[in-house]
Amino acid sequence: MNSTTSTRDFPLLKVQVSDRASVAAPVTDPKVTVESLTVRYGRRVAVDAVTLPIYRNLITAIIGPSGCGKSSLLRALNRMNDTIAGVQTSGRVLLDGQDIYTPGCDVIALRRRVGMVFQQPNPFPKSIYDNVAFGLRINGLVHSKAELDERVERALRQAALWDEVKDRLDRSALQLSGGEQQRLCIARALAVEPEVLLMDEPASALDPISTAKIEELMFTLKQHYTIVIVTHNMQQAARVSDFTAFLLSGALVEFNPTPQLFTNPADPRTEAYITGRFG
């Protein structure tokens, strides 16, 4: 994709990893702090007392075998779990130092600040334009048609989709290819200018070329956003992220800078997982 990118080997993983990942460990305070977060579905514990920092303008990957609670953890960060009946959450999630689980927290405002992209591209069956404009309209963020046009264009440019769709903005979003749909969903999430972007296996339903485009996109986006990505694809985590959290049965096994976690894992279970011994 980007020929100027140099790569370096991760011996354990047998993949090459972009060295744009984690240039240096951040010294800033975290954008989001997860403190002994537990998520229960009825009796089942999906996330078990996880404590984790998520640093500003970096990409944090959450990996682990399927069913380990990755998605539940991610969805706890913008309280999407609230939409599922029977989910109980305890612990704290601090966004800029404020607990999003305090009673009286404005969930709607929270979700505007913490955007989300889902595993399956889920554009609304509306036009491309209306998809991107949706969040702006419902949140009353724009005051004129010109402003709306401008914000839609900016979001589509940020998602590297503008050139492909600028001539057919009024066409149905469902006519786009899967990769285009997913970038549209990213554009839709970006349009409301969130501070944090949560991505739940954003490329798992896509072909390799579309996946590469999305990953490329993430590098440019992290200048402005804090990104958390859930993936079951370790290579992907290694390629794009700066920090990686490894989850097993809902519990956090290891959280470290990505190069370290993949080259020199601190926990034997991490090593077992990334070398493909289970999962």
Partner 1 sequence: MTIVEAATFRIVGHSLRRQAMELVVQALIYLAALVAISLILLIFVFVGRQALPVLISPAVHEEVTLGELFLPQEYGTSEVPLRYVWQPVSVDPKYSLMPLFLGTLKVTLVAMLLATPLAILAAIYTTEFAPGWLRETIKPVVEMLAGIPSVVLGFFALIVLATWMQERFGFDYRLNAITAGVALALAVLPILYTVAEDALGAVPRSYRQAALALGASPWQTAWTVVLPSALPGVFAGVVLGFGRAIGETMIVLMASGNAAITSWEFAEPVRTLSATIAAELAEVVFGSPHYHVLFFIGLLLFAVTFVLNWTGARLVDRLRRRLAGVER
Partner 2 sequence: MSLRGLDRSFILLSGLAVLLIVTMLAIIVGNVVWHGWEPISWEFLSGAPRMGMTEGGIFPAIFGTVLLVLLMTIFVVPLGVCVAIYFSEYANRQSWLYRWTRQAVNNLAGVPSIVFGLFGLGFFVQFVGGWVDQQFYEGKLTYGQPAILWAALTMAVLTLPVVIVSVEEALRSVPQSYREASYALGATRTQTVFRVVLPQALAGVLTGGILAVSRGAGEVAPILFVGAAYYLPELPKRLNDQFMELGYHIYVLATQSPDVEATKSLLYATVLVLLALTFLLNLTAITIRARLRVTGGLR
Letters for 54-93 (x = contact with partner 2 by CB under 8 A, - = none) are ------------------------x-x--x-x--------
Shortest Cβ distance from residue 229 to partner 2 (Å)?
15
CA distance 77 to 92: 10
Binding region for partner 2 (CB under 8 A) out of 24-32, 111-119, 222-230, 258-266:
111-119
Q: Tokens 């798992």 label which residue?
A: 204
Shortest Cβ distance from residue 51 to partner 1 (Å)?
13
- Which 67-86 residues touch partner 1, going by CB under 8 A? 79, 81-86
From partner 1, partner 2, none, which one binds at residue 120 (CB under 5 to 8 Å depending on kind)? partner 2
Task: Examine residue 51 and tell whether it contacts partner 1 (CB under 8 A).
Answer: no
What token pair was written down for 251?
A: 């519990």
What token pair was written down for 185?
A: 């969903």
Shortest Cβ distance from residue 114 to partner 1 (Å)?
15
Looking at the Cβ atoms of 106 and 170, the one nearer to partner 1 is: 106
Looking at the Cβ atoms of 45 and 212, the one nearer to partner 1 is: 45
Cβ pair 64, 248 in contact under 8 A: yes
Shortest Cβ distance from residue 156 to partner 2 (Å)?
15
Shortest Cβ distance from residue 155 to partner 1 (Å)?
22
Task: Examine residue 122 and tell whether it contacts partner 2 (CB under 8 A).
Answer: yes
Task: Examine residue 171 and tell whether it contacts partner 2 (CB under 8 A).
Answer: no
Nearest CA-CA partner of 55 in 198, 181, 228: 228
* Binder among 118, 219, 246, 273 for partner 2 (CB under 8 A): 118
* Binder among 15, 20, 99, 124 for partner 1 (CB under 8 A): 99
Pairing outcome for strands 15-18 and 114-117: unpaired
Residue type, 117: V
Burial of residue 155 (CB within 10 Å: 0-12, 13-18, 19+) is: buried
The HSE-up count of residue 123 (CA atoms within 13 Å, CB side) is 27
What token pair was written down for 232?
A: 């079951």
CA distance 7 to 240: 12
Pairing outcome for strands 59-63 and 243-248: parallel
Helix axes 178-191 and 145-158, enclosed angle (nearest 10): 130
- Which 128-167 residues touch partner 2, going by CB under 8 A? 134-135, 138-139
Give the single-character DSSP code of 29.
Answer: P
Binding region for partner 2 (CB under 8 A) out of 19-27, 55-63, 91-99, 102-110:
102-110
Task: Examine residue 106 and tell whether it contacts partner 1 (CB under 8 A).
Answer: yes
Nearest CA-CA partner of 209 in 175, 242, 182: 182
45: helix, strand or coil? strand
Question: Under the rule (CB under 8 A), what is the footprint of partner 1?
Answer: 36, 79, 81-92, 99, 101-109, 140
